[in-house]
Chains A and B, each alone.
Chain A
Amino acid sequence: MPLEFEKPILELEKRIAELRETARTTGVDLEAEIRLLEDRLARLKEEVYGSLNAWQRVQLARAPGRPTTLDVLEKAFQDFLELHGDRAFADDPAIVGGLAYLEGQKVVVVGHQKGRDTKENLHRNFGMPHPEGYRKAMRLMDLADRFGYPFLSFIDTPGAYPGVSAEERGQAWVIAQSIQRMSRLKVPAIALILGEGGSGGALAIGVANRVLIMENAWYSVISPESCAAILWRDAKEAPKAAEALKLTARDLLAQKVVDAIVPEPEGGAHKDPDQAIRNIKEALLKTLEELKGLSPEELYRDRYRRFRTLGAYAES
């Protein structure tokens, strides 16, 4: 399904294809017309994709076909071995993780997992974890520490699941514990916001030495819809809320909430997932290289400093 703001582009692409088809079947020379339309298409794309607003980026961050955690683990890494379960209650399909190699380096990986179609989305609870998901993540953090392998996390959730079962099993408690556990890692930790970075459910696996974000991903304390429902008393005001929340990659870089932006192919990662995943791999390798040589104690202190300095206030 095309996004609303992309429709003019898709229509133009369709017309060019039709012209080509006509030229082919009738033998009439339409090269000049086609070239004219192609020029216009290039300009239109530049115009639309070059000035995406916050709400448009939120839509791209949720676009079907965008690489999910498992897509990244399967394509950018080698021999991903998925590990299951929290050893206490259940295995949460909304968080995946396990062991992998990145260009031959041993790493431990964890990420939110959305479904790639409706059926899988139901199974994955739309990427909204229960407490057992965060307990699985913490288990994998323990594993990373035990063997001294870097810990890489992929964030893509609308938020932790707000339901009765999650509350009964201590959703707030496990999120707090996961933040604490991750902050205490003695190994290099990198988090990448792949799509949606929804609130505490995202931060629970986001307390890394370096936090990267995809060009069209968002990260904030609340989703634009929920923010609009509370502050504007109308979820339909989400575009305004998205703007006000300053939740785009570039805004977050200015706030120092993220350290670097991973570029996406024109029109978003879903337009060319393989290229997006190549960019991700390159960024992860470069960031791992930066953290190389820091001792366990230095890594802990580096993470503390990184988060300790965030915020804006004035002395009394």
Chain B
Amino acid sequence: MALERLFRRKRPSGENRDVPELWTKCEACGAQLYKKEFRENLYVCPKCGHHHRVPASERVEMLADAGTFQEITGLRPLDPLGFVDTKPYAERLRAYQEETGRKDAILGGTCTIGGVPAVLLVMDYAFAGGSMGSVVGEEIARGAERAAAEGRALVIVAASGGARMQEAALSLMQMAKTVMSLDRLWEKRLPYVSILTDPTTGGVTASFAALADVIFAEPGALIGFAGPRVIRQTIRQELPEGFQRSEFLLKHGMVDRVTDRRKLKGELVRALRHLHPGVPYAVGV
């Protein structure tokens, strides 16, 4: 439902990195940022700490140990319902594929994270608002099954407006499919860590993203079930300050930790080492 955001906002700022200009602006405080430094600071504004969106491929670089990532995703979406709104879905898919160089809204692979064997899946908000249709659902189910089969931890970085409208009920069914696939990890006592980034809403929050053993959230990320606009329309009043932001969710008991992106890998590694039964006692890196 929160897909509405996709149609209002332009591309996440991090996607503009190929533009030749050397400078960019913080979305929150407006500070002039030298792009190279901004990237080295993991798209966090050094002035105000605002966490900007990160392209999926760079998210992989931030979390996977250097040189260990082997891509396992690449399923192609279909248009099972022949969906047409103001534009045909098939056309929208082609446009997203050209824009992102990806088949659908997810990039995943095997890797190690702080030496712990893992399957890392990263949702790509730049592709149809990171929405979950049949491909995203299937990739997540396969990722969980693969992790279980190979004794790996599962790490999913969520960034999504929710289930994809253009695949309608089939998208809805991916919520059940992804949730059920997590049982394979449960059976093998393998850890599943979920990282909620801006934004994570709708059918993604309400399925696999909420069911991890440990849930991290990035500071200031919008996380929830219904989108803020829908809620505002329902209750016909302004929403409380900070509503549906990571810190709000921490306060209400929905996430384990709100972690600055610059410390995220370190904390993720600690969590994986604590949880993974195959990793011996190890403090520090």
A interface residue numbers (CB < 8 A to B): 160-164, 166-173, 175-177, 179-180, 183-184, 199-200, 203, 206-207, 219-222, 226-227, 229-233, 240-241, 244-247, 252, 255, 257, 303-304, 307-308, 310-316
Contact = CB atoms under 8 A, between A and B. Distances in A.
A230 to B, nearest CB: 5
Given A199-B1, A222-B1, A313-B138, A169 B252 contact: yes
Given A179-B176, A246-B81, A308-B181, A167 B205 contact: no
Contacts of B77: 313-314
Contact of A177 (B3, B170, B205, B210): B210
Interface stretch (B238-246, B258-266, B267-275, B276-284): B238-246
Contacts of B3: 230
A310 to B, nearest CB: 4
B206 A227 contact: no
Interface string B205-232: 1111111000000000000111000110
Interface of B: 1, 3-4, 7, 74-78, 80-81, 83-86, 103, 133-135, 137-138, 141, 163-165, 167-177, 179-183, 201-203, 205-211, 224-226, 230-231, 234-235, 239-240, 243-244, 252-254
Closest 8 pairs (CB-CB, A-B):
A162-B226, A311-B134, A316-B74, A312-B80, A172-B205, A231-B85, A172-B225, A176-B210
Contact of B177 (A168, A226, A308, A312): A308
Contacts of A171: 206, 224-226
Contacts of A255: 80-81, 169-170
Given A221-B171, A252-B169, A313 B83 contact: no
A184 B182 CA distance: 11
A95 to B, nearest CB: 16
Nearest to B201: A172
B254 A173 contact: yes
A137 B176 CA distance: 16
B173 A257 contact: yes
